Amino acid sequence: MSSQATPTLNLKGIGASPGVAVGHAYILDRKRVRTPKLRLAEAEVDPERMRMKTALDLSDRQLSDLKDQISKTEGPEHALILEAHRLMLHDPMFVDEVNRLIVEDRINAEWAVRRVARKLKHLFDNIPDEYFRERRSDVEYVADRVVRNLMGQVVDEEVVLPDHAVVVSHDLSPADAALMARSGRVAGFVTDLGGQTSHTAIVARARSTPAVVGAGRASEQISPGDLVALDGTRGLILVNPTEDQLALFHETMRRHQEFEAKALEAKDLPAQSTDGFRIRLVGNIEFPEEIQSLLAHGAEGIGLYRTEFMFLDRKSPPGEEEQYRAYRQVLEAMGNRPVTIRTLDLGGDKVPGKGKHEKEPNPAMGLRAIRYCLANRELFRVQLRALLRASVHGNMRMMFPLICGMSELREARSELEACRTELGRAGVPLGKRFQVGIMVETPSAALIADRLAQEADFFSVGTNDLIQYSLAIDRQNRDVAYLYKPLHLSVLRSLKNIVTAAKEAGIPVAMCGEMAGDPVYALVLLALGFDELSMTAGQIPTVKSIIRQSSREDAQRMLDAAMDLTTAEEIERYIRTEMDRRLSDLA
């Protein structure tokens, strides 16, 4: 289709994987199959349970085959997602509840599966952490697979893509995303649903494929064969662009590819500015399997190891031994590189083994993170004992999330010392004393950073929460998401206050939120004086290259000029203009 045949359509979504792509739209229609609703006679109940078992077994075999297929080409981290789907097929919360509905309500298996899936998805709605909230889609993928198998429909139909296809879909399963990315024919992804931590985003970043997610009704507004240009950094989509717009995109693509190649050359070099300021670039991980990718991209350590994955999709929390083995595996894999492990950061009603809870009206500000741990001391102590035991095996640091004041920090440290004493008396081998820091992600912590710095060994700024709490917006709410501004003057002042407090107290200060890995903000963070930035593996070479070819003195001049402005829009426009100029010069 000619780029001038129809008017250009401008769409906006969430930039999930950086880069620019141009290609023709391939619309992947994976609409959910319509679920039949039938009432069963008593004689039909047992045969229906057997149908359910057959569909579960078939689904398990399919996922096992997919896992083997993907692990050979995509690496174990993506295969691990499919293994989690297999575990869900055998989870009593899923299987027993479906069978109960078949027997007691006498409804067909397809209907029962949908009802249970809807109930399980609601369990994720109250989780503050975006990564784990996004796992709602996993329940949908598993349920859809089982229903399709119950109905004898084709599952995992092979998709034959044309070259340079921009895949447009309402949503993508982990298998779809990984298999299509592996084909080498995908120029980019566009999905209606999803966020920075959706499977499409994770797979796209791992394959360095540009992606825009959360684009609303894009799959309905884009037609098969439309020419699509997308910017995975800014979340922009142009459908049937003009010749001038297309030329600009192609030039941007060329510059981006040159810059990426140059950035990878510097991946094993230190992130040090031209005037000698050194920043340590480290990675965020959820699973141990991600370590290989981190090291391949030049990570100097782990700045955020989320421990919540062990607590999900199970009836009882992991014991001390299971947690110890998981932490030990990560520490040993990283050798002498620092590993910062965050203690449990989930909402109270999302910890396994608890009874039903009333849904919190505002979970992001409810009983979560350190608050939950201090309200459930034994659960907290189990994790602390496991961490203390694991500290023997590597260079471990630990941090407490969502600290709002000094009393929480003191209470948490008191529990740690009590566990240390308990293990010492029992003769359990312990490593040397490790640094104990805090996540600075609330306005209260930012405002009293000077006091907290007297008792914390380091700070790690969680910008995702700090920004939304500071600006009083829920970035998952589409009506106000546009107000989420990392360069808002209040945010910059908070960051400056946090860094100043850390420097004056002589403790390191890191950042592990999304802001840390965005190249647009690299010089702002260099100017502020962060000692460490933690991000996804694929972001490290680009940020490192920018820092290595920049002067901190120049970055400070840019930041000073930006902070003389008033509105977030003015500041962002100024920083983006300055960064565009500098990145063009660097590339």
Strand order across the beta sheet in which 165-169 lies: 9-12, 236-239, 227-231, 20-28, 165-169, 186-191, 211-213, 14-17
22, 249 Cβ separation under 8 angstroms: yes
Q: What's the gap between Cα 278 and its chain centre?
A: 26
Strand intervals (E) in 326-368:
338-342
Tell me the HSE value of 508 on the side-chain side, using a 13 A CA sphere. Answer: 16
The CA–CA distances, whole Å, from 584 to 15, 20, 254, 520, 581 equal 20, 15, 11, 12, 5
The CA–CA distances, whole Å, from 43 to 46, 97, 279 equal 7, 20, 69
223, 216 Cβ separation under 8 angstroms: no
Tokens of 506: 């002589």
The pair phi, psi for residue 26, each rounded to 5°, is -115, 110
Which of these, 446, 468, 435, lies nearest to 365 by C-alpha position?
Answer: 468
H-run or E-run covering 351: none
- In the annotation, is 24 catalytic? no
The pair phi, psi for residue 21, each rounded to 5°, is -140, 150
The residue whose two tokens read 């509105």 is: 567
Cα torsion 244, 250, 253, 257 to 10°: value is: -150
- In the annotation, is 199 catalytic? yes
d(CA 166, CA 185): 9
Dihedral sign, Cα of residue 440, residue 445, residue 449, residue 453: negative
d(CA 165, CA 113): 34
3-state secondary structure of 73: helix
540, 299 Cβ separation under 8 angstroms: yes
Rounded to the nearest 5 degrees, what angle is found at the Cα of 387, between the Cα atoms of 383 and 390? 140
d(CA 525, CA 487): 11
> Which residues are bridge partners to 189 per DSSP?
167, 211
350, 391 Cβ separation under 8 angstroms: no
d(CA 370, CA 299): 28
- CA R_g for the chain: 25
Rounded to the nearest 5 degrees, what angle is found at the Cα of 526, between the Cα atoms of 203 and 448? 100
Any alpha helices (H) in 297-405, and if so which ranges?
320-333, 369-375, 377-390
Tokens of 480: 């106000």
In the set 85, 170, 199, 393, the catalytic residue is 199
Any alpha helices (H) in 207-342, and if so which ranges?
218-221, 243-265, 291-296, 320-333
532, 283 Cβ separation under 8 angstroms: no
The CA–CA distances, whole Å, from 322 to 201, 281, 317, 383, 386 equal 29, 29, 10, 10, 8
Q: What's the gap between Cα 229 and its chain centre?
A: 25
Question: Which residues form the catalytic set?
Answer: 199, 512
